[in-house]
């Protein structure tokens, strides 16, 4: 059902409403809502839990939220299972369900907030794993209301990136993942490797450890509203890598690229002392900006701009925002 002046939940706890909104179950519902949005002269936008967006108070948009949370096994073999998941299911629910079903692979991605439908948009990643490596196909409804099924290659997955970032008018209605039917843990991330040194932990143990690490380091949006990392770790040129290395900063080679730590650049620039209104860095992870109560999107953007300028002035590195700002 279409609703005017709809409250839009978000993990920054900014009071936000959309001109119109609706809860949508099927691709057909999405196509119909897009048609209605056109008639109202409003751009259509799909949102999930609002854990990777900065929302202005009044969105001049038709906001759709996918309600389909169904999980269906499409195909299976001795080693793998293809599972189709409705975009409305919470990501963490999928991680828990898959572990209890004996479908493995997602344990490093435990406790990432948000919905399954949003996960391909920035190719969620953590602790040495990325969603994209598990994706078989993504079903979308395009701007014109046509339904397509994109294979993993067509999704153009990269570091916190995908084709969906270039196509904000496409709406993801379900995602098919290929998961392992036998435990195959991923200990590429240094903290996991050293914790489980010499052992072959169960996927449940890896998920539990990742959960504990995240709970220790990151603020819980329920008590300290935030959208996770505010900037991506910058991919830097070889010249910049030499320069930062000489300054004693940590660098992370990945394939033929080198990344710097955005958190360390923010920390070393002295931004942990900054505050705009109620917005400030989370002391244990300065890459996360927290709304300590009554903060606004304008304050947050001003805060992020100050951090970005300071890092650029001090280290000549341009930080790129991770969440998008929606008005």
Among 27, 86, 105, 117, binds ligand FAD (CB under 6 A): 117
Per CB under 6 A, does 16 bind ligand FAD? no
Site stretch for ligand FAD (CB under 6 A), options 117-125, 233-241, 259-267, 297-305: 117-125
Over the window 73 to 112, marking each residue x when it contacts ligand FAD by CB under 6 A and - when it does not, the resulting string is --------------x------------------------x
Q: What is the DSSP string of 123-179?
A: T-EETTEEGGGGEEEEEEE-TTS-EEEEETGGGT-BTTB-HHHH-TT-EEEEEEEEE
Q: What is the radius of gyration, based on Cα positions, of the chain?
A: 20
Q: Of 158-177, which residues contact ligand FAD (CB under 6 A)? A: 164, 171-172
Instruction: Report phi then psi at 306, rounded to 5.
Output: -65, -45
Per CB under 6 A, does 66 bind ligand FAD? yes
Q: How many CB atoms lie within 10 A of CB 60?
A: 12
Contact criterion met (CB below 8 Å) for 34 and 145: yes
Over the window 283 to 322, marking each residue x when it contacts ligand FAD by CB under 6 A and - when it does not, the resulting string is ----------------------------------------
**In this complex, which beta carbon is closest to ligand FAD, that of residue 11 or of residue 291?**
11
CA torsion 124-236-156-210 (nearest 10°) is -20
**In this complex, which beta carbon is closest to ligand FAD, that of residue 164 or of residue 180?**
164
Among 6, 11, 37, 104, binds ligand FAD (CB under 6 A): 11
> What is the rounded CA–CA span in Å between residue 282 and residue 284?
6
Among 16, 18, 44, 50, binds ligand FAD (CB under 6 A): 50
| Greatest extent of the chain over all pairs of C-alpha atoms, in Å | 62
Among 27, 86, 113, 234, binds ligand FAD (CB under 6 A): 113
Among 115, 162, 285, 296, binds ligand FAD (CB under 6 A): 115
Among 16, 122, 186, 296, binds ligand FAD (CB under 6 A): 122
- The catalytically annotated residue of 49, 61, 107, 160 is 160
Per CB under 6 A, does 213 bind ligand FAD? no
Distances (CA, A) of 227 to 145, 244, 261: 30, 28, 18
Q: Of 215-254, which residues contact ligand FAD (CB under 6 A)? A: 218, 221, 226-228
Determine the angle formed by the axes of helices 91-101 and 203-217, rounding to 10 degrees.
Answer: 160
Among 45, 106, 179, 319, binds ligand FAD (CB under 6 A): 45
> What is the rounded CA–CA span in Å between residue 70 and residue 244?
47
> What is the rounded CA–CA span in Å between residue 197 and residue 199?
6
Among 48, 86, 203, 286, binds ligand FAD (CB under 6 A): 48
Determine the distance from the C-alpha atom of residue 298 to the mean position of all C-alpha atoms in its chain, rounded to a whole number.
21
> What is the rounded CA–CA span in Å between residue 318 and residue 327?
24
CA torsion 32-35-37-40 (nearest 10°) is -130
> What is the rounded CA–CA span in Å between residue 269 and residue 288?
15
229 is catalytic: yes
Cβ of residue 261: shortest distance to ligand FAD, in angstroms? 14
202 is catalytic: no
Site stretch for ligand FAD (CB under 6 A), options 42-50, 96-104, 200-208, 279-287: 42-50
Which residue numbers are catalytic?
160, 229, 322
Q: Which residues bind ligand FAD (CB under 6 A)?
A: 11, 45-53, 66, 87, 112-115, 117-119, 121-122, 124-126, 164, 171-172, 218, 221, 226-228, 324
């Amino acid at each position: 059902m279409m609703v005017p002046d709809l409250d839009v939940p978000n993990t920054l706890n900014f009071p936000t409403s959309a001109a119109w909104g609706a809860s949508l179950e099927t691709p057909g519902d999405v196509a119909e809502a897009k048609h209605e949005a056109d008639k109202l002269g409003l751009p259509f936008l799909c949102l999930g839990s609002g854990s990777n967006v900065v929302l202005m108070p009044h969105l001049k948009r038709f906001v759709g939220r996918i309600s389909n949370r169904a999980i269906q096994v499409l195909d299976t073999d001795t080693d793998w299972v293809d599972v189709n998941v409705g975009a409305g299911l919470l990501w963490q629910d999928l991680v828990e369900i898959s572990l209890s079903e004996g479908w493995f692979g997602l344990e490093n991605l435990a406790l990432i907030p948000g919905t399954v439908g949003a996960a391909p948009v920035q190719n969620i990643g953590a602790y040495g794993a990325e969603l994209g490596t598990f994706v078989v196909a993504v079903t979308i409804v395009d701007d014109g209301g046509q339904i397509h099924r994109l294979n993993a290659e067509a999704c153009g997955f990269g570091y916190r990136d995908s084709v969906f970032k270039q196509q904000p008018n496409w709406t993801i209605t379900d995602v098919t993942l290929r998961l392992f039917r036998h435990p195959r843990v991923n200990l590429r991330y240094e903290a996991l490797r050293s914790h489980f040194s010499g052992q072959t932990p169960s996927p449940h143990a890896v998920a539990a450890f990742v959960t504990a690490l995240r709970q220790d380091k990151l603020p819980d949006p329920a008590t300290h509203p935030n959208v996770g990392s505010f900037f991506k770790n910058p991919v830097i040129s070889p010249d910049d890598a030499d320069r930062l290395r000489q300054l004693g900063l940590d660098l992370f080679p990945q394939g033929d690229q080198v990344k710097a730590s955005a958190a360390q650049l923010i920390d070393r620039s002295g931004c942990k002392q900054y505050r705009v209104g109620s917005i400030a860095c989370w002391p244990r992870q300065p890459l996360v900006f927290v709304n300590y109560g009554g903060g606004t999107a304008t304050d947050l953007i001003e805060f992020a701009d100050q951090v970005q300028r300071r890092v650029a002035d001090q280290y000549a590195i341009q930080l790129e925002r991770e969440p998008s700002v929606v008005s």
